[in-house]
Amino acid sequence: MKACVLVSPAPVESNPLRIVELPKPKPAAGQVLVRVHACGVCRTDLHVVEGELPPRKSPIVPGHQVVGIVEENGAHASRFQPGARVGIPWLHQTCGACEYCRSARENLCERAVFTGWMVDGGYAEYVVAPEDFVYALPEGASDLHVAPLLCAGIIGFRTLRLSGVRPGGRLAMYGFGAAAHVAIQVARHWNIGVYAISRDPRHQKLALDLGAVWAGGSDDEPPQKVDAAMIFAPAGELVAPALRALKRGGTVAIGGIHMSPIPPLDYSLLYHERAIRSVANNTRQDGEDFLRIAAEIPIHTEVREFALEQANEALNALKNDAIRGAAVLRI
């Protein structure tokens, strides 16, 4: 099969991904073999490629927003019939036995395995995954438009939940890429007023097109204090402005797996019970809940299509904030 492989981390400007031929994987017991149709390009992929997430498997096939068709079942795998359209997410597998897995917090499992970082992912024609961690996908949206829902969408949804903002409240979003452009649609569905902060005027316009009540640059403050803030850009310097934008008792929820150092904070920014919390991965229940709501709304994703051979180009565009919405590889 054709696959896009990272041998060792390097700046994306050096175009480190290589197209190679790999053996077609065989599904083990409990796994499904999926013929990949589309794979979203995520900022986490960028962190893997550039080594901000330390290598866990080398070489590695990145990609964890996978949409495709089940082609073969491994032994004892019967949840999906061949031909079923499914999604493969970031969370590849958990231990199922630790205190976190037993308390509905499998996103914190210390023995969790992640797609496209610890096992080969979706920048390839085929991929295998445990059937219990694969999502059935709603009908309607195309493979290209569904792909960003499988990480950007789910993480944005979990971040929105953990921010604590309630219907009728006000929410600031810092960084308006793939996750934010999905999360805003859920927020508006819940009657939450969204204030978008992005350094890119194109992303500000997208936010307004999607229903934001205000959009400004990275040096701007929302015109009103907000009940909660979400940070999707991997920039630690945004934490202080997000705290300044909060009302008393508000929360800043950080929806990324990697972030640059957070500068020293004056305690007055945290006082009055303001909080900072990270968002670590997601549970399968998050995914099920989000995909159900996404179908109800229905959510529309803006995508820019790339061929598998253009994976380096897609990651470079992502790094330079040149993607309106989400980048997706058509396999």
How confident is the model at residue 21, as a pLDDT? 98
> Do the domain assignments include residue 260?
yes
Does 230 fall in a domain? yes
pLDDT at 28: 98
Are residues 76 and 161 located together in one domain of the fold? no
What does the block give as tokens for 68? Answer: 């495709």
Higher-confidence residue of 218 and 275: namely 275
> According to the model, what pLDDT value does residue 143 have?
98
Within 10 A of 96 (CB to CB), how many other CB atoms are there? 11
- Tell me whether residue 169 is in a domain: yes
Same-domain pairing of 70 and 176: no
The β-bridge partners of 102 are none
140: confidence class by pLDDT, cuts 50, 70, 90: confident
Give dist(CA 222, CA 215) in Å, integer. Answer: 8
234-266 tens-digit pLDDT: 999 999 999 999 999 999 999 999 999 999 999
Specify if 288 maps to a domain: no
Number of structural domains the chain divides into: 2
Is residue 219 predicted with pLDDT exceeding 90?
no
Domain with residue 121: its CATH number is 3.90.180.10
- pTM > 0.85: yes or no: yes
| CB distance 238 to 246 below 8 Å | no
Domain that holds residue 162: 153-278
- Identity of the amino acid at 157: F
Task: Inform me whether the pLDDT recorded for 50 exceeds 90.
Answer: yes
Residue 294 lies in a domain: no
> CA–CA separation, 73 vs 76, rounded Å?
8
The mean pLDDT of the chain is 97
Same domain flag for 215 and 121: no
Whether 29 shows a pLDDT value over 90: the answer reads yes
Q: Domain check: are 52 and 134 in the same one?
A: yes
Confidence check: pLDDT of 191 > 90: yes
DSSP annotation of 13 = G
Average of per-residue pLDDT across 269-277: 98
* Residues 215, 167 share a domain: yes
pLDDT for res 318: 97
Q: Does residue 265 share a domain with residue 164?
A: yes
Evaluate whether residue 284 is within a structural domain: no
How far is the C-alpha of 209 from the C-alpha of 215, rounded, in Å?
10
- Classify residue 293: in a domain, yes or no: no
Q: Is residue 308 part of a domain?
A: yes
Residue 268, burial from CB neighbour count under 10 angstroms (0-12, 13-18, 19+): exposed
Sign of CA dihedral 70, 71, 75, 81: positive
Secondary structure of residue 107 in the 3-state scheme = helix
User: Which CATH number does the domain housing residue 171 bear?
Assistant: 3.40.50.720
Q: Are residues 137 and 157 in the same domain?
A: no
What is the rounded CA–CA span in Å between residue 37 and residue 68?
A: 5
Mean pLDDT score, 94-121: 98
